[in-house]
């Protein structure tokens, strides 16, 4: 209703369902492009923590791996592809395939939690008067911080990316009309 009235009056209105006119389309494109940049940075950070966890787990077995160059992106991309596929097609997938996607999502979350814990273990937090985080990555403090950070880094980037890309596509269609 608001969009229809605004369109009749020639007012630019932008919403989650798409732009009403070309001014609204441009604001959608700018806003969602900025969102893409932010969530891309969050995705890279999540990938970093996932890779840190994988490196620690492999070290338990005497294997050393250095994630540099293209190797950095292997596991984060694999996790993201499976999560996006499972999320986008969840209503059409069989229960077992949804279960696999959920399992991969949980592995992604768990590796992010432990990766954060490994990275922050033993660090000093100057903003809190020199508070020193426990040196053990398995301590309650590091794991709680890991859970909070992993909640922000594991699932939102993919969902926001999908939503932003769809909105940008709709805005471009509005501009072409």
Which stretches in the chain have pLDDT values below 50? Answer: 1-2, 6, 11-14
Residue 167 is predicted with a pLDDT of: 92
Each residue's pLDDT tens digit, 100-110: 989 999 999 99
Pick from 118, 125, 119, 116: nearest CA to 154:
116
Q: Scanning the structure block, which residue is given the tokens 């969009």?
A: 3
Residue 59 is predicted with a pLDDT of: 92
- Residues 78, 119 contacting (CB under 8 angstroms): no
Residue 107 is predicted with a pLDDT of: 94
Domain holding 155, by residue range, is 2-176
**CA 112 – CA 20 distance, rounded (Å):** 40
Residue 2 is predicted with a pLDDT of: 44
Residue 65 is predicted with a pLDDT of: 86
Residue 78 is predicted with a pLDDT of: 92
User: How many structural domains compose the chain?
Assistant: 1
User: Two tokens at 58?
Assistant: 């492999």
**CA 53 – CA 55 distance, rounded (Å):** 5
């Amino acid at each position: 209703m608001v969009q229809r009235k605004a369109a009749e009056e020639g007012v630019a209105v932008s919403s989650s369902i798409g732009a009403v006119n070309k001014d609204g389309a441009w604001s959608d494109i700018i806003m969602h492009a900025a969102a893409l940049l932010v969530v891309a940075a969050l995705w890279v950070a999540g990938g970093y923590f996932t890779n840190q966890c994988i490196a620690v787990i492999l070290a338990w077995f005497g294997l050393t791996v250095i994630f540099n160059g293209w190797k950095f992106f292997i596991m984060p991309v694999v996790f993201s592809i499976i999560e996006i596929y499972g999320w986008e097609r969840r209503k059409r997938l069989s229960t077992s395939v949804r279960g696999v996607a959920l399992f991969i999502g949980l592995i992604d979350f768990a590796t992010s939690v432990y990766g954060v814990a490994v990275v922050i273990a033993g660090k000093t937090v100057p903003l809190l008067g020199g508070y020193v985080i426990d040196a053990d990555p398995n301590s309650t403090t590091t794991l709680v911080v890991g859970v909070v950070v992993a909640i922000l880094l594991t699932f939102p980037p993919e969902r926001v990316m999908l939503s932003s890309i769809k909105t940008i596509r709709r805005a471009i269609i509005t501009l072409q009309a």
